Homo-oligomer: A and B are copies of this chain.
Amino acid sequence: MSEDRSEEPKPRRRQARGERRIAQLLQAAANVFCANGYTASSTNAIAREAHVSPGTLYQYFPNKEAIAIELGERLLHEMREAHGQAFVPENLALPLPRLLDAVVDPMIEFNCANPVFLALMHGSEVPGRIAEEHDALHASLLARVQEVIAHYAPGLPGPDRARVADMTFATFKGGLDLVLAAPEGPERDATIAELKTLLLRYLAPLTDEAAPASPR
């Protein structure tokens, strides 16, 4: 609050306030989106949750969609910064079960801490048509999965790899729903373990060159 006079305090202050407001609004949006889903959330409700007037909200975001987009981007960055090391080369060298731990655990942790993330991924709730807004979020994560798969199953042709990545990701999302729905505690832990088992069983044959890749 007191001005440090050897620096540029005015703009700093202003921007700091603006940033705080934005964060506050995004947090409020996260709460409201979680509670009602994106479509059913109103900008007025978000403003109310943030204890600001609707006008204030619109000073920072041009419309509802922009809030979701910004929220998604922030979450993505946050996730990368917090758990980005999951995809470092060292981890890629791990055996699959360990890699799954390294990738899935922080991901789940992050989603437990930020349940909006899933809410945004479920997006505009229209199946078979993913809203552009959430596309980026989705695409970015999918790319990660593809990388890992490419590393583990280098022999897999591109289209197959894409399909496996899609399926892996879809499965993970489905499992994540379950994890978030489970009450925190042993039940949730067991669900997490089960999800890892599922992914492991699915992906192990891809990397296991000796074994017949698929029993079909």
Contact = CB atoms under 8 A, between A and B. Distances in A.
Interface in A170-216: 170-171, 173-175, 177-178, 180-181, 190-191, 193-198, 200-202, 204-205, 214-216
Binding site of A, secondary structure by majority: helix, strand, loop or mixed? helix
Interface residues of A, number: 49
A214 B190 contact: no
Q: How many copies does the complex hold?
A: 4
A97 B216 contact: yes
A94 interface: no
Nearest to A36: B126
Interface string A128-151: 111000000000000000000000
Interface of A: 34-40, 97, 115, 118-119, 122, 124-130, 159, 163-164, 166-167, 170-171, 173-175, 177-178, 180-181, 190-191, 193-198, 200-202, 204-205, 214-216
